[in-house]
């Protein structure tokens, strides 16, 4: 359907009329779309004859978002079901053999009878109004199984710059980020083994067991149904994944490996020190991982029963500040026993916590500010007062 040898890319499409005007919905292979598209980034322009002014409508690319998408497009179930939106000027004038000789070029020709949109096969023909990060992610796709990645594209022709800006602003202003705890919970539906599903199952199990130190404490969908729920499911899952996969990016790769019928690689040496739960996960010892977490936080509960159990506005031990600091300390305390792969008991963990002389009343927002600063300070206090070395 599409050939770089032709002057135009022939794109079957559907013509759509809405209050803003007429546009076309089509499918274009990502390689062709990359070739003909460009991004008009918002920037400051100035010269000797004009006052300074801002031009362009797009935001700068986010390196972290692009990195995530470059990895995502290689996955076995990668998908971009929502439309890439582009704008094409029907005609443009270009210099042919010098400044005095100009040539008018048709960038797009619509064949009403055949429902075909012919788009000039050249660079900088189509301006991206929405989808620049997705396209940038596809730019370095080298996965042969995904090389025929097609994209759903909405094409505006001769759209006024004001309408272009409004479309971009409306789409991005109206987007609401999906609750991360809901995302974590949806892994319950997946059939394939993955770090995300394991972490979700552990969070669910610990939240439901009456004897668990987390009984009724986890906001499963990210919003509290009662005041006892002080830790979001997303916070729990993210901090557990750091010791199984190391990052959400690697967790996605691990899931992809399982979906392809393979098993992720185990770790050893320094990598095993960093990902001390990974080999247990690969060996499908999820119950043992859950038991270690249970025992660790049971020791916390035994050491500071009121600070862990009672929910008070100014207290932080059983909230994200305390939980994240405790999960950071979890690595150091676990590795201090030199028994990677073994299920440590509550008593083993407690013998370390017993050395820490932090008064339960000190676990407050004044001493440990909400956010990364307070988390780091609390973690440092745990480490220094325990007498164990940072791992």
pLDDT tens for each residue of 46-58: 454 554 444 444 5
| Per-residue CA distances from 278 to 162, 169, 247 (Å) | 52, 43, 12
Contact between 103 and 96 (Cβ < 8 Å): yes
The confidence score (pLDDT) of residue 224 equals 67
Tokens 């075909």 identify what position?
A: 116
Q: How far is 181 from 135, CA to CA, in rounded Å?
A: 27
Pairwise CA distance, residues 285 & 136, whole Å: 39
Rg for the chain (alpha carbons), in Å? 28
Q: Which helix (H) or strand (E) holds 33?
A: helix 30-36
| Percent of the chain clearing pLDDT 90 (strictly above) | 69
User: Can you give the residue ranges of every domain in the chain?
Assistant: 8-174, 180-386
At 382 the pLDDT is 97
What are 252's two structure tokens? 């996605």
Within 8 A by CB and 6+ apart from 285, the residues are none
Give the residue ranges of the chain where pLDDT is below 50.
1-4, 42-46, 48, 51-57
User: The tokens 């901090």 sit on which residue?
Assistant: 239
Structure confidence at residue 164 (pLDDT): 81
Q: What six digits make up the tokens of 126? A: 């189509």
User: Residue 174: its pLDDT value, please?
Assistant: 55
pLDDT of residue 162: 78
Element (H, E) at 341: none
What pLDDT does 167 receive?
Answer: 81
Residue ranges with strand state E in the chain: 8-18, 21-29, 37-39, 43-45, 53-55, 84-88, 91-98, 101-106, 108-111, 116-120, 126-130, 150-157, 218-219, 231-232
pLDDT digits (tens, 9 = 90+) for 4-31: 457 999 999 999 999 888 999 999 999 9
Buried b (16+ CB within 10 A) or exposed e, 12-39: ebeeeeeeeeebbebebbbebbbbbbeb
pLDDT at 355: 96
Q: Write the pLDDT tens digit of every residue in 86-124.
A: 999 998 876 655 566 667 889 999 999 999 999 999 999
Q: How many CB atoms lie within 10 A of CB 271?
A: 14
User: Could you tell me which of 274, 190, 66, 275 has the C-alpha nearest to residue 264?
Assistant: 275
Nearest-angstrom CA–CA distance, 368 and 364 = 6
């Amino acid at each position: 359907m599409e050939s770089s040898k032709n002057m135009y890319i022939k794109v079957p499409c559907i013509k759509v009329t809405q209050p803003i005007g007429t546009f076309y919905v089509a499918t274009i292979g990502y390689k062709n779309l990359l070739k003909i598209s460009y991004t008009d980034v918002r920037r400051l322009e100035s010269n000797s004859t004009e006052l300074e002014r801002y031009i362009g409508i797009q935001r700068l690319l986010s390196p972290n978002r692009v990195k995530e998408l470059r990895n995502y497009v290689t996955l076995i179930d990668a998908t971009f079901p929502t439309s890439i939106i582009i704008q094409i000027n029907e005609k443009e004038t270009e210099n042919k053999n010098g400044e005095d000789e100009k040539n008018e070029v048709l960038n797009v020709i619509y064949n009403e009878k055949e429902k075909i949109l012919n788009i000039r096969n050249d660079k900088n023909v189509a301006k991206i109004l929405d989808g620049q990060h997705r396209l940038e992610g596809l730019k370095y796709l080298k996965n042969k199984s995904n090389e025929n990645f097609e994209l759903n594209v909405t094409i505006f022709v001769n759209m006024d710059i004001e309408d272009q800006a409004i479309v971009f602003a409306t789409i991005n202003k109206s987007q609401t980020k999906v609750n991360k705890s809901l995302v974590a919970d949806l892994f319950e539906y997946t059939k394939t083994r993955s770090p995300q599903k394991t972490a979700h199952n552990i969070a669910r199990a610990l939240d439901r067991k009456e004897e668990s130190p987390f009984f009724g404490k986890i906001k499963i969908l990210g919003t509290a149904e009662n005041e006892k729920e002080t830790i979001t499911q997303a916070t729990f899952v993210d901090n557990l994944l750091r010791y199984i996969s190391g990052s959400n990016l690697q967790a996605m790769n691990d899931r992809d490996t399982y979906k392809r019928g393979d098993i992720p690689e185990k770790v050893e040496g320094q990598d095993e020190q960093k990902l001390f739960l990974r080999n247990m996960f690969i060996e499908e010892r999820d119950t043992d991982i859950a038991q270690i977490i249970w025992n660790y936080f049971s020791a916390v509960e035994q050491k500071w029963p009121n600070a862990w159990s009672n929910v008070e506005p100014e207290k932080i031990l059983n909230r994200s500040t305390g939980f994240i600091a405790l999960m950071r300390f979890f690595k150091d305390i676990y590795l201090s026993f030199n028994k990677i792969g073994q299920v440590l008991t509550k008593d083993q963990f407690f013998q370390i916590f017993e050395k820490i002389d932090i008064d339960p009343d000190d676990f407050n927002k004044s001493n440990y500010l909400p956010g990364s600063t307070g988390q780091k300070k609390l973690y440092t206090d745990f480490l220094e007062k325990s007498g164990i070395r940072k791992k």
